[in-house]
Amino acid sequence: MSDSSAHAYWKSNIKIVMSLLVVWFIISFGCGILFVDALDTIRIGGFKLGFWIAQQGSIFVFVVLIFVYIHLMDKLDDRYNLESSKSESPGAESESELEDSQ
């Protein structure tokens, strides 16, 4: 990968990570903690909304966030033909590596 495309790759990578972390923060710290009392005024079935997000909903969102990340990063790696992310990467395999590091 050339320097400029490595730079562009890294920029897209940061953008993906940052936007997902914004959602992560809003759901967990925002809805689950800071605005939980306001959301509790809304009721869905037997749940108060804020209470539900804090105890269950946020966990579902966390799972979705990681899978969105997996999907977006796979696409990004493909766009930049980053084969190394798919192939068996070297390092931990070789015994000599271990000797070097000691």
Partner 1 sequence: MSVQIWTFIFVFLSFSLYIGIAIWSRAKSTSEFYVAGAGVPPLANGMATAADWMSAASFISMAGLISFLGRDGTFYLMGWTGGYVLLALLLAPYLRKFGKFTVPDFIGDRYYSRSARLIAVFCAITISFVYVCGQMQGAGIVFSRFLEVDITTGVIIGMTIVFFYAVMGGMKGITYTQVAQYCVLIFAFMVPAIFISILMTGIPIPQLGFGAELTDAYGGGYLLDQLDGLSEQLGFATYTEGQRTTQDVFFITAALMFGTAGLPHVIIRFFTVPNVRDARRSAGFALIFIAILYTTAPAVAAFARTNLINTVNNAEYSAMPEWFSKWETTNLISFNDKNNDGRIQYLGDAERNELEVNQDIMVLANPEIAGLPNWVVALVAAGALAAALSTAAGLLLVISTSVAHDLL
Site string for partner 1, 63-102 (x = CB under 8 A): x-xxx-xx--xx--x------xxxxxxxxxxxx-xx--xx
Q: How far apart are CB 24 and partner 1 at their closest, in Å?
A: 5
Collapse the DSSP code of 27 into the 3-class scheme (helix H, G, I; strand E, B; otherwise coil) and give the result.
helix
Q: How far apart are CB 51 and partner 1 at their closest, in Å?
A: 5
- What's the first-to-final CA gap in the chain, in angstroms? 31
Nearer CB in complex with partner 1: 74/79: 74
Is 22 a binder of partner 1 (CB under 8 A)? no
Is 39 a binder of partner 1 (CB under 8 A)? no
39 Cβ partners below 8 Å, 6+ apart? Answer: 31, 48, 49, 50, 53
User: 3-state secondary structure string, 49-98?
Assistant: HHHHHHHHHHHHHHHHHHHHHHHHHHHHHHHCCCHHHCCCCCCCCCHHHH
Question: Which residues here bind partner 1, judged by CB under 8 A?
Answer: 17, 20-21, 24, 28-29, 32-34, 36-37, 40, 44-48, 51-52, 54-56, 58-60, 62-63, 65-67, 69-70, 73-74, 77, 84-95, 97-98, 101-102
